Amino acid sequence: MRLDGRRESTNVEDRRSGGGMSGGGKASLGIGGMIIVALLTWVMGGNPLEVLQGGVGGGEADDASPQKEYVQSEEEAALFSFTKKVFASTEDVWTELFKAEGLEYTQPKMVIYRNSTRSGCGQASSSTGPFYCPADQTVYIDLSFFDEMERSLGAGGDFAYAYVIAHEVGHHVQYLLGNIERVNRETARLGKKEGNRLSVRLELQADYLAGVWANHENERWKSLQDGDLEEAINAASQVGDDRLQKAAGGSVVPDAFTHGTSAQRMRWLKRGYQSGKLRGGDTFSVPYDEL
């Protein structure tokens, strides 16, 4: 993905220095535990509240702890810059697309942290994976997750990482359009099976919106290179519910799906990329078995 000379978003807060935001208390799950939890609870957005409120990762933050200067490696500095550039691209693309619909796009924020931090949805941990919190309209990412994508999911590549960011911003788009509120309202009155199905619809729509962003990113800046789209499609495949359940050593239980199968995630991402239209991804009116 070519991003040379592109601007970096100014809506990004760097909390990697730790201090009062890093949290203490419970011990880290470690690499093995982090991967299993990430496999089962992440998949770019989902419902992080269940994990956060369950106490995964760090405990309460200690506001009195002193801050230490964080020294990043060259590789992490490049990834940090990349993340800010992709986030800036989402700002530009969605501002333009909302304007075309006669709407105003309120830009979200992004927090980059290490280990754990506080969010409007509770305590955030590296083991939670990237997520969007509607309570504070903020995307939370520990950059180490991108390394785990490559090592543990076989989903590396810069455009695969861009897809993660774009999916989370897709949840913000859903928030602005009222879809998240509607799903939360409906979920509260439904049983677990039907609630899970609504979650799948929401996640597949976020995949579609990530594809819409990719379409306009490439149309405007010609930034995609050979293999980039395939990286994102591969990432979508690797985080399907069916694949993750198998990876965790269990059987595939469709009623427990909350994000959709690998095939569904790839299909809706590609559909968004091919369409490029904000209003083209109505996953809520399609019969469930046709998603």
Q: What is the pLDDT of residues 39-79, one digit of tens each?
A: 444 444 444 444 433 333 333 334 445 566 788 999 999 99
Residue in the structure block whose two tokens are 């909302």: 98
Return the exposure string of 4-31: e unless at least 16 CB atoms fall within 10 Å of the residue's CB, then b: eebebbeebeebbebebbbbeeeeebee
pLDDT value of position 124: 87
pLDDT value of position 66: 52
Query: Which portions of the chain are predicted below pLDDT 50?
Result: 19-64
Q: Strand 131-133: give its sheet, edge to edge.
A: 12-14, 109-112, 138-141, 131-133
Question: What is the residue extent of each domain of the chain?
Answer: 12-290
pLDDT value of position 67: 60
pTM for this entry: 0.84
pLDDT value of position 246: 77
pLDDT value of position 81: 97
